[in-house]
Structure 1
Amino acid sequence: MLKTGKNSPATCCIEKQPYLISAQKEDRLQTRLARMMHMHDDRIEILQLRSGHGIHIIDGQEYETKQGDILVYNAGVPHEEMADAKNGMDILSCAIGNVSIKGLAPNVLFTQAYRPVIQDSPLYQDIGSLMSMLFSHFTSPHPSRELEHHLLCSLLLLVRNAAMGSERDDERKQKEIGDLVQRFIDEHYQEEISLQHIAQALHMSPYYLSHAFKRTTGYTPMNYVTRRRIGEAQSRLLSTDHTVTDIAYAVGYSSASNFHNAFKKMIGLSPQKYREFWRKQL
């Protein structure tokens, strides 16, 4: 557990004394009702997803959330929450006001460079313990302001550190996933392939897979498939005498017309014109 003394890291970057606005638990029955887009200017909200899964949209970005995630709503950031309709979610949350981190706007814990959803963090249990103590403190008939201050400072710093560490871990994970998807496409692009097929084969969500791949390569998975097919077709058009139709089927197209349209759109020439152009240069 993080200690907060006078000169501890927990207090050195916190310029004002934060206070607990609320601490509450929401069970699966309550969270089955979607909470549509809203935001707050006077607080930071920290949520610990204790069971279940759902969809959270934070600042226009959709996240698939699950047990073990920590979510942060900075002030002024629109967000909405939709639990799985059948199972719901169990959530513990704390709303904290008067948060002032050096160099940041009021009630902002970290910049938009960091993800507001912290997943698979080794600090999850420690964060949960602090939030549970704050919930007990909030519901206590005799709360201690000094204890609240230390708990809040510890929680804010721990979540801030988890978010920044999670971003580095997330970049590594997304690079690994991007590499895995790229290898899969390189091995299977000549077959009938779709985003759903790739996701099922790799046991991943289509959304996360596509996001990780684009972040790694700059292309969507299906755009990469098209580029691999057209690139291979260019090689075959120049190095073999196979017909355009045969090449279309060989690189993964189900019809010559689809291949013709995709090739011309990307290269600016039809496959046959491309072959003729380059053979005249040789």
Structure 2
Amino acid sequence: MEQCVVKKGFVPSFEGGKEPELTFLYKIKAEKSDCIRAMHAHANELEIILINSGQGVYSIDGKRRAVKEGDIIIYNSNVVHEETFGIDGQINSYCCGISNLHLTGLRPNALISDEVSPVFASGGHYQDIANLLELMFTQLAGRLPRAPETCHYLMLSLISILLDLTQSYVEREDRKGLKNNILGRRIKNYIDEHYAEDLTLESIAKAINVSIYYMSHIFKEETGYSPLQYVSRRRIGEAQSLLVQTDYSATQIGTMVGFGNPSYFNAMFTKNVGMSPLKYRRTCVSMNKEGSKK
């Protein structure tokens, strides 16, 4: 017989006894033609991604990062991110949303420091994390009477495992390689705050008080995008969120995110996502309905 003794009087990780809340859970099989997710952010919740299979390059807070099977990606609240796909054309993953998270030493709805890499290899923790997410998904998809309560406790277990995993990484990581380019960060923050406005290279450079050439060079070096490419993808990503989460028309949404011309919005959305705004809405709504039936 093997026995494990539970330590008494452990200190909870959450500040003031406040417990986080599970807001959504997706099981995603994403192909190049299906619901490509452009740049977006969540103001009041964080996301946890587990890559089950496949590989690709994700843009996270202005930096491109390679992801692969077994990786955990953590998006703190307000972190702009974008998922793209690899050569094989698909990434299978779980996506978990959590709100009301308050951890000592971190800002609200942050699981890690904003200064560390958001991509972690799950290693020996992979199976435990995958099992927790699959059990949560099965409970919710099955609409069991106590599914919300069961998933709440499973989510707390998930957070505890991830805190141990990320802490061990942070202790080993070389902080020198994590310093962001200050000017690139200033440009990105300005665009994130004003993307829905009538931005031009001239207006951005004037606001940052640098030359257009220097601004464009530094930003491309920092993010991999030109400033106006970033503006466009930021707008499209927010439009995707509004198409799925609201009943606004495509024309209204295009205007809300900064595309003044409906035809131009439709053309840019289709070019970047691979389908029109209305087809995107129908496809994602259909996928969500199918997922809830499983």
TM range (shorter): 0.5 to 0.7
Q: 1:167 matched to which residue of 2? A: 170
Once the 2 structures are TM-superposed, how far is the Cα of residue 76 of structure 1 from its aligned partner? 0.7
**Equivalent residue runs for 1:45-194 within 5 Å:** 45-84=47-86, 86-141=88-143, 142-171=145-174
Unpaired segments ≥5 residues, structure 1: 175-282
**Separation in structure 1 between the aligned mates of residue 71 and residue 58 of structure 2, nearest angstrom:** 11
- 8 Å CA contact 1:32, 1:87 repeated in 2: no
Once the 2 structures are TM-superposed, how far is the Cα of residue 87 of structure 1 from its aligned partner? 2.6
Unpaired segments ≥5 residues, structure 2: 178-294
Identity of aligned residues (%): 29
How many pairs are equivalent?
170
**Separation in structure 1 between the aligned mates of residue 33 and residue 115 of structure 2, nearest angstrom:** 29
- 8 Å CA contact 1:47, 1:94 repeated in 2: yes
Q: Secondary structure at the match of 1:126?
A: helix
**Equivalent residue runs for 1:231-270 within 5 Å:** none
Aligned partner letter, 2:22: L
Ranges of 4+ aligned residues in structure 1 off by more than 4 Å: 3-9, 30-33, 169-172
**Separation in structure 2 between the aligned mates of residue 88 and residue 63 of structure 1, nearest angstrom:** 16
Once the 2 structures are TM-superposed, how far is the Cα of residue 8 of structure 1 from its aligned partner? 4.3
**Separation in structure 1 between the aligned mates of residue 71 and residue 104 of structure 2, nearest angstrom:** 26
Once the 2 structures are TM-superposed, how far is the Cα of residue 147 of structure 1 from its aligned partner? 2.3
Question: Is 1:13 aligned with 2:14?
Answer: yes
Aligned partner letter, 2:160: L
From the superposition, tell whether residues 4 and 68 of structure 1 become closer, same or farther in structure 2 (CA, over 3 Å): farther
Q: Secondary structure at the match of 1:122?
A: helix
**Separation in structure 2 between the aligned mates of residue 99 and residue 6 of structure 1, nearest angstrom:** 24
**Separation in structure 2 between the aligned mates of residue 57 and residue 100 of structure 1, nearest angstrom:** 25
Aligned partner letter, 2:83: E
Q: Secondary structure at the match of 2:109?
A: coil
**Separation in structure 2 between the aligned mates of residue 110 and residue 55 of structure 1, nearest angstrom:** 20
Q: 1:22 matched to which residue of 2? A: 24
- 8 Å CA contact 1:56, 1:63 repeated in 2: yes
**Separation in structure 1 between the aligned mates of residue 67 and residue 98 of structure 2, nearest angstrom:** 22
- 8 Å CA contact 1:50, 1:90 repeated in 2: yes
Q: 1:248 matched to which residue of 2? A: none
- 8 Å CA contact 1:48, 1:71 repeated in 2: yes
Aligned partner letter, 1:147: T
Aligned partner letter, 1:164: Q
- 8 Å CA contact 2:36, 2:83 repeated in 1: yes
Once the 2 structures are TM-superposed, how far is the Cα of residue 30 of structure 1 from its aligned partner? 6.5
Once the 2 structures are TM-superposed, how far is the Cα of residue 38 of structure 1 from its aligned partner? 0.5
TM-score, normalized by length of structure 2?
0.51
The two structures, once aligned, show a CA RMSD in angstroms of 2.8
Q: Which has the higher contact order (CA 8 A, sep 6+)?
A: 2
